[in-house]
Amino acid sequence: MKYILCLLVSVLLFVGCGKKGENAPVSKDEIKVDSTELKLSASSNPNQSVNLTYKLEKDKTYRYRLVMLTDQEMSQTGTVNRSDKGVQTLIYIMNLTPVNVDNDGTMDIRFNIVKVKMDVNATGKKITYESGVTKDTAGQFFDQEAMVNNPFEARISKSGEIVEVSKTDKIVAKLIELAKGKIDVNQKEQLKGQIVDGQLKPLIGQIFRELPLNSVNKNYTWTKDQAPSQMPPFTVKSKNVYKIQDLGELSGDKVITLNIGLETIFEGKKEISQNGANYKFNDPKLITEGKVYFNVDKGYPQQVKTHFILEQSFSATGKDQKGQMQKGDQSQRIDRKTIVDLLK
């Protein structure tokens, strides 16, 4: 009997100057994992009202480091018994340069991923990749290679809404080139959509989160509904929950500490039958929590730290090719910590 656990997860959930900043090389210190929490000084007026709007300066380059630390475990018992574990560290260094700012504060921002570094240890097998260093002769990392130094643009409102992602043609062309026939060139538009929705928007969304345009102060809370997503056999309905924890100072700038949470409802049948097998799913566990340190005076996040956990399991019964009844269980756990830091 063959059975598969499908985990199609939507994470409901990833200051330099001018052109010189855009082309600045990446130092070894910048691609190191640093989980140090940002420390703020006490504000003389922590209960004052502030406005949370993004206001990056035109033609100024901001460099961010995005780190994703992922632990994944999968176990299976029944006709086959196995247990797999994997640990991945993925680092992106991105330069953000607003090339235009409308009168209403909407920004056209050029994003350039200047470095990608990845370390993987999957069931004892270690893989290391660093753009500009690793020679990817086997074509294992062509999706990462295609994003490096191939700028794209995103239109971001002053509230942090990702209005549009554009100018991804260079990434798509490089991906097709490096894939060496593994990608159908006739599906270029479909591929572009997959890159935007599956890779670029999630990366941008680690830096830009929609914030309220009205004045806010300490203990102010708000929610934002997420579009329903599928995690077979469940439909996931969720909303982000935000609360301003505190207002402090960093180098004379006002910085708010914003707590992030997630409320989730799973809808769907826990027991289904398919191809002669019966599946019984347990209640999934999905947690997203974190903090945003947002510089109110400068209009950008100084640091973002989030923690995502997903646990899902099921049991299955059915007859094998010999007509004998078989039973099996499968479970999976994903634990991902994301750290975003403004480097300069």
298: CATH: 2.30.230
CB-facing half-sphere around the CA of 259: CA atoms within 13 A: 11
Whether 3 maps to a domain, the answer reads: no
Residue range 19-29: mean pLDDT, rounded: 74
Structure token pair of residue 324 = 């004998």
Report if residue 4 sits inside a domain: no
- What integer is the mean pLDDT of 68-81? 92
**Cα separation of 96 and 105, whole Å?**
16
* pLDDT digit string, tens, across residues 237-285: 999 999 999 999 999 999 999 999 999 999 999 999 988 899 999 999 9
What's the pLDDT at 275?
84
- Tell me what pLDDT residue 142 has: 85
Q: pLDDT at residue 116 above 90?
A: yes
> In 3D, which of 161, 191, 4 has the Cα closest to residue 80?
4
Nearest to 340 by CA among 160, 144, 248, 206: 206
Number of domain units in the chain = 1
Amino acid letter at 300? Y
- pLDDT bucket at 21, cuts 50 / 70 / 90: low
pLDDT in the model for residue 141: 86
- Residue type for position 313: S
Structural domain contains residue 208: yes
Does residue 10 sit within a domain?
A: no
The answer to whether 204 touches 162, Cβ cutoff 8 Å, is: yes
Closest-CA residue to 169 (of 155, 197, 188): 188
pLDDT over threshold 60, residue 15: no
How distant, in Å, are the alpha carbons of 29, 65, 174, 286, 310 from that of 19? Answer: 22, 19, 24, 42, 41
13, 262 contact by CB (below 8 A): yes
Measured between alpha carbons, how far apart are the two ends of the chain, in Å?
A: 55
Q: What is the Cα–Cα distance from 150 to 129, expressed in whole angstroms?
A: 18
Query: Which residue segment(s) compose the domain that 164 sits in?
Result: 18-342
The answer to whether residue 70 is domain-embedded is yes
Helix 188-195 / helix 169-179 crossing angle, nearest 10 deg: 110
The pairing of strands 82-101 and 300-319 is unpaired
Asked if residue 6 belongs to a domain, the reply is no
Please report which confidence band the pLDDT of residue 7 belongs to, taking 50, 70 and 90 as the band edges: very low
The two tokens of residue 293 are 């340190």
Is there a domain that residue 1 lies in?
A: no
